Every structure is written in C-alpha cells, then in structure tokens.
Amino acid sequence: MITKKLISEFVGTFILVFAGTGAIIINDVSGGTVSHIGIAMTFGLVVMTMIYTLGDISGAHLNPAVTIGFFAARRLDRRLVLPYVLSQCAGAISASLILRLLFPQHPTLGGTLPAGPSLQSFVLEAILASILMFVILGVSTGEKEKGMTAGIAVGSVVGLEALFAGPISGASMNPARSLAPALVSAHFAALWIYLAAPVLGALVAVLGCQCVREEGCCGVSEAKI
C-alpha cells in the first residue's frame, strides 16, 4: 500500500512538472504561442486531472509543502512525510531531465525566478502557498480529497494564482516544481525562496484553518497506510 502511494506521488509530480514547465519551455521556443494564460491554465488543469486520477491512492499531494501541511494538521502519518517528499522530488527531477533531453538549449527549463526583489517574491510565494493549502484543507478529508469538486477547487486556485502572480514570482507554491528545473539547469540563485516560502505558507494555512473551522480541520490524524 505504501509503495502504491509513493509511485502515485512520483507519477503525479512527474506529470505536473512535465506539463507545467513544459508549457513554459514550449511557449519560449515557439515565440509565445502558449501564452501566459495558457501556462496558468496548464498548471491548473494538470493539478485538477491528477487529483481525480490519483487522489484516492495517495491524496495527489504532488507538492512537499502540501505534504508538510497535512502532517502539521495531523492528517498524515509522520512515516509518510519523508517518503512522499522524496517521491515528489524524484518525479519532478525525472520530468526536468526528460525536458532537458527534448529542449537542450533552453537555459532554465521553466524554472522559477523572481522578477523583482527577493523579499517581494518570498512574501508573495508564502501567501500563495497559504491560500492553496487553506483551500486544500477545506476540500479534503484526512490526507485525501473528498467529493467531486475537490479537483476543480484545487486546480482552480492553482490556475488563478498562476494567472496573477506568475509574472512576478513564477507562482511556484511547490518546492519540488522549482527544485527540479533548478538542479537540472544549474540555476540556484533564488532557489531558497521557492524551497522555504511554500512550506512557511502551508504552515500558516494550518493555523488559519484552525481559526475558522471548529472541527474537522486539524487535531485528529485520519491517515491510513
């Protein structure tokens, strides 16, 4: 059962990074054919699709910050945290390696870089991740999504945040999504922003959920192995 969860996280994060950063790369090499709106929609749609495809297996976290957020909310067994994160990072890195083979001349492979001051992007990424985690906690039960609208809600908030914040911070909200292209393309200058800010934001969201929900948000672990 654990193996299936880890494979699910690997595959889901692979597809997320392959489609999402692939859209950025193809937009660059095609002279803007995909467009910023298309890139945002790609990220939102691939997250939504993976939730419906893999949500009943692993929860389709696809994001170390989300996994850490679920653990902080006591909805995920601590034994799964590190294996989930490693599987997500491995899937993301595998996607970036394939994109490097397909587009060897692309300098950043769709990596996230701040368009302005580092602090500006750090704060923005933390807030974006907090909003994302807040929504996820609201539409999930245990470490898994609930109901037919969970994928729509989470995919929509990912696309929405990418639409308005992408031009400034890249709207990563996901350490694995930023780590993979940075490692493969060897662009590490601002990587710390995208590793630290989403985790901070996810933890803040757990506190926010505790403030607005009397029960069912945090406090009882529902994770099963």
Could you tell me if residue 114 is inside a domain?
yes
**pLDDT at residue number 211:** 85
Q: Which whole-number Å values give the CA distances from 181 to 74, 76, 91, 106, 114, in the listed order?
A: 31, 28, 12, 11, 15
Could you tell me if residue 219 is inside a domain?
no
3-state SS, the chain, equals CHHHHHHHHHHHHHHHHHHHHHHHHHHHHCCCCCHHHHHHHHHHHHHHHHHHHHCCCCCCCCCHHHHHHHHHCCCCCHHHHHHHHHHHHHHHHHHHHHHHHHCCCCCCCCCCCCCCCHHHHHHHHHHHHHHHHHHHHHCEECCEECCCCHHHHHHHHHHHHHHHHHHHHCCCCCHHHHHHHHHHHCCCCCHHHHHHHHHHHHHHHHHHHHHHCCCCCCCCCCCCC
Question: In whole angstroms, what is the distance from residue 208 CA to residue 68 CA?
Answer: 15
**pLDDT at residue number 224:** 34
Per-residue pLDDT of the chain (225 residues; tens, 9 = 90+): 799 999 999 999 999 999 999 999 999 999 999 999 999 999 999 999 999 999 999 999 999 999 999 999 999 999 999 999 999 999 999 999 999 999 999 999 999 999 999 999 999 999 999 999 999 999 886 555 555 788 999 999 999 999 999 999 999 999 999 999 999 999 998 999 999 999 999 999 999 988 887 665 675 544 332
Could you tell me if residue 72 is inside a domain?
yes
pTM of the entire structure?
0.93
Q: Where residue 45 sits, what CATH number does that domain have?
A: 1.20.1080.10
**pLDDT at residue number 1:** 79
**pLDDT at residue number 149:** 83
Question: In whole angstroms, what is the distance from residue 7 CA to residue 2 CA?
Answer: 9
Residues with Cβ < 8 Å from 100, sequence gap 6 or more? 106, 109, 184, 185
Could you tell me if residue 218 is inside a domain?
no
The pair of three-digit structure tokens given for residue 66, joined into one six-digit string: 């989300």
Quote the domain boundaries for residue 61. 2-212
Could you tell me if residue 217 is inside a domain?
no
Could you tell me if residue 141 is inside a domain?
yes
Could you tell me if residue 225 is inside a domain?
no
Q: Tokens 């069912």 map to which residue?
A: 216
Report yes or no: 185 and 109 within 8 Å, Cβ to Cβ.
Answer: yes
Could you tell me if residue 223 is inside a domain?
no
**pLDDT at residue number 147:** 58
- The structural domain count of the chain equals 1
Residue among 83, 118, 98 at smallest CA distance from 181: 98
